[in-house]
Amino acid sequence: MEPALNAPSISPVVSMKIAYEYLALHVGTAVLHPQLDPVRALLRIEPVSMEACLVERFVSLPYAPFHDLVLEGNVPHAVVQIRLFGGAGLRVHFQGTGIGGVRLKYTHDLERGEEDFRILGTETNT
């Protein structure tokens, strides 16, 4: 069974919440840094500017039965990539925020029901 490609798109706020929680896995309590205050305000449904966080949609691969999350690094700010069903993708840009340390890639294989974390390297441009 393949995903319905005519379904409504994911809300930018949902994408930001997924990416923010993924950042929290990388940096722990450092995710509470004041630079991310505008993102937290938006996630609490407070009226704020969307300039602190930009969600970009892309298509990369044809359908494949997996989802994954990866911290792309600081290009020039922290960017989290979300891929659903292999090809439908979102990049969440955390404007003005740099994340250092190990970069991880999380993959959930939908056919086997297995999860995997891989270390991609380190990012030092914070």
> pLDDT higher for 60 or 18?
18
Instruction: Look at residue 126 in the predicted model and tell me its pLDDT.
Output: 41
Q: Report the C-alpha dihedral over residues 68, 85, 58, 106, rounded to 10 degrees.
A: 0
Contact 38, 23 (CB under 8 A): no
**Which of these, 22, 25, 53, lies nearest to 37 by C-alpha position?**
53
**Does residue 2 surpass a pLDDT of 80?**
no
pLDDT of 34-52, one tens digit each? 888 888 887 877 655 567 7
**Does residue 30 surpass a pLDDT of 50?**
yes
pLDDT of 72-121, one tens digit each? 888 788 899 999 888 888 999 988 888 877 788 899 999 999 999 888 87
My answer on whether omega of the bond before 76 falls inside 30° of 0, hence cis, is yes
Alpha helices in 1-124 (DSSP H): 12-27, 37-43
User: 10 Å Cβ neighbour count for 29?
Assistant: 7
Instruction: Look at residue 49 in the predicted model and tell me its pLDDT.
Output: 59
